Amino acid sequence: MSRIFIWWIGEAAADRAALEHVAARLAAAFRAPVALWEAPERPRHAYDPRRRQHASGMILRWLLEAGPGAGKVLGITDRDLFIPILTYVFGEAQLGGSAAVVSTARLVERADARGGGPLLARLEKEALHEVGHAFGLVHCGTPRCVMSRSAAVKDVDAKEPALCPECRVRLQELDVGGP
Interacting residue with Zn ion among 18, 74, 164, 171 (CB under 5 A):
164
Q: Counting contacts by CB under 5 A, is residue 140 touching Zn ion?
A: yes
Do the beta carbons of residue 37 and residue 7 sit within 8 Å? yes
Rounded Cα distance between 67 and 75, Å, is 9
Residues 108-137 binding Zn ion (CB under 5 A) are: none
167 binds Zn ion (CB under 5 A): yes
Indicate the residue among 33 and 57 with the shorter CB distance to Zn ion: 57
Q: How far is the CB of 116 from Zn ion (least distance, A)?
A: 25
Smallest separation, CB 138 to Zn ion (Å): 8
CA distance 63 to 99: 6
Q: Using CB under 5 A as the criterion, what x/- string covers residues 84-103 for binding Zn ion?
A: --------------------
Based on DSSP, count helices (H) and strands (E) in the chain, helices before strands: 5, 8
Residue 34, C-beta contacts closer than 8 angstroms, at least 6 positions apart? 3, 4, 5, 6, 23, 24, 26, 27
Greatest C-alpha distance within the chain:
44
Cβ atoms < 10 Å from Cβ of 32: 17
Task: Decide: is 145 part of the binding site for Zn ion (CB under 5 A).
Answer: yes
Please confirm, yes or no, whether 130 is among the known catalytic residues. yes
Question: Is residue 142 part of the contact set for Zn ion (CB under 5 A)?
Answer: yes
Asked if 147 is part of the footprint of Zn ion (rule: CB under 5 A), the reply reads: yes
Residue closer to Zn ion (CB basis): 73 or 140 = 140
- Binding footprint of Zn ion on the chain (CB under 5 A): 140, 142, 145, 147, 164, 167
Residues classed as catalytic: 130
